Amino acid sequence: MPRRSSIVALVIAALACVVASYALRYLLMEGDQWVGRCVDDPGLLACQVRGTLGWMIHLRIIALTALGCALLAFVVPGVWGWRLAVPGLLLGVPALALYTASLAVFAVVLALLRLVRAPAVTATH
């Protein structure tokens, strides 16, 4: 896939990730209707997802995973560094929306810096 189309696909994926993250935050995590339902029946799938996501936010798992991917991407050369920056960005965006902005901001910045880094030019003689 040419570089331009891969960047367009990445931007579309990042926008979809932002929309999904805010929908998760405001509809499931902060939604008033789920508080009552989850107290009455904590075995509902949505309540289990809500609880698991709450623990992942509390333990900063999403933000730390994004930061780890972004740090690795920043030091790994070539296409593998670019490929590691993509999950760093796509995990960092939800971490920004889901209450762990202090760590996620570094992951997003590092991933974006890696994604815009010019590819190395090989010298030919």
In a domain, 122, yes or no: no
Q: Which residues contact 69 (CB under 8 A, 6 or more apart)?
A: 84, 85, 87, 88, 91, 107, 111
Report pLDDT digits (tens) over 14-51: 999 999 999 999 998 888 888 888 888 888 998 999 99
In a domain, 124, yes or no: no
Report pLDDT digits (tens) over 109-122: 999 999 888 766 66
Q: Which of 8-22, 55-69, 110-124 has the lowest mean pLDDT?
A: 110-124
pTM of the prediction? 0.85
Number of domains comprising the chain:
1
The candidate with the shortest Cα–Cα distance to 24, out of 101, 87, 86, 96, is 96
Domain that residue 106 falls in: 3-116
CB of 20 within 8 A of CB of 97?
no
